[in-house]
Structure 1
Amino acid sequence: MSILAFAFVILSCLNVLVLSGKTLVRDFNVVDYGAVGDGYTENSQAFLRVWDIACHLVFAETANMIIPEGMTFLVNPLLFEGPCKPKEINFKIFGTIISPKPSAWKGIDSTQWLAFRRVSGLIVDGYGTINGRGSSWWSLSCKNNHREACITSAPTVSRIK
């Protein structure tokens, strides 16, 4: 009998939330999924894990992927792909996301670093920083440095398709 009463209470609460028109919002902090914000540890898998959970969330109108303040997250090139189930996916940057050094890109497609594809309702906001290490790439550019070892293409920091 107590299981039925508990189920009734839970279903009633869900019904009230749905009928009240309240927007259900879920927050996902990358640190809670294994990211280490020390500026040196590679965090791509934690970022993709959070994206996968947030993107496939069924009972939420908005999913927030949170990059917390006071931390620096090194990530390799990432593709955040949809379509996603929530109406809005909010990529909230309060800390710093940093790309690998140019020397670490050997053998990696350097045309893009952070890419979003087929994601409706994407919002990227916050007061944090996206650091693509631009000055490191500029010093290696064939345009600025006419050596044999110069590079012709540096990564695009972000691409949204």
Structure 2
Amino acid sequence: MTATEIRIQAEPFDPAAEQDALRRGKPQVGALVAFVGLMRDINDDSAVRSMTLEHYPGMTDRSLEAIAAEAGRRWRLEAIRIIHRVGRLEPEDPIVLVAVASRHRGDAFRACELIIDYLKSEAPFWKKEQTDSGERWVEARSSDSDAKARWKPEPER
């Protein structure tokens, strides 16, 4: 069973410290792969001053747990950590961390990629950007759905 930690929080986090904590005390780990999503100051060719992220408490946690469990079913993983910010974010702030520890790099790379692809298309988060023209909700991107679609369901082991 893969050790999994999921946190949805308003507080900032340190991606490097989180990765170090994930692998510390696990000498069997041979690979740690992480994705850090950052707040950009531009979207769709428009300047973005800040962003507010909203979520559906409970439902969002269950969604992320199911995504992590899917990765754990597909690959041999030692640990998964998913941290997602909510609330107000500024450009350059870390928004999301997906970190996967495994004995081998291939499992860690694939699992990390699957988790972020599923998270972007399935987890109930909503983004509202603050721009010079006012506020706007960010629409779902077809590229996120396309990225998830390439992960065909795996047969049960």
Question: Does TM, scored on the shorter chain, surpass 0.5?
Answer: no
Greater RCO, 1 or 2 (C-alpha within 8 Å, sep 6+): 2
**Alignment TM-score, normalising by the size of structure 1:** 0.29
**Alignment TM-score, normalising by the size of structure 2:** 0.29
Radius of gyration: which is bigger?
1
Give the structure with the larger strand fraction: 2
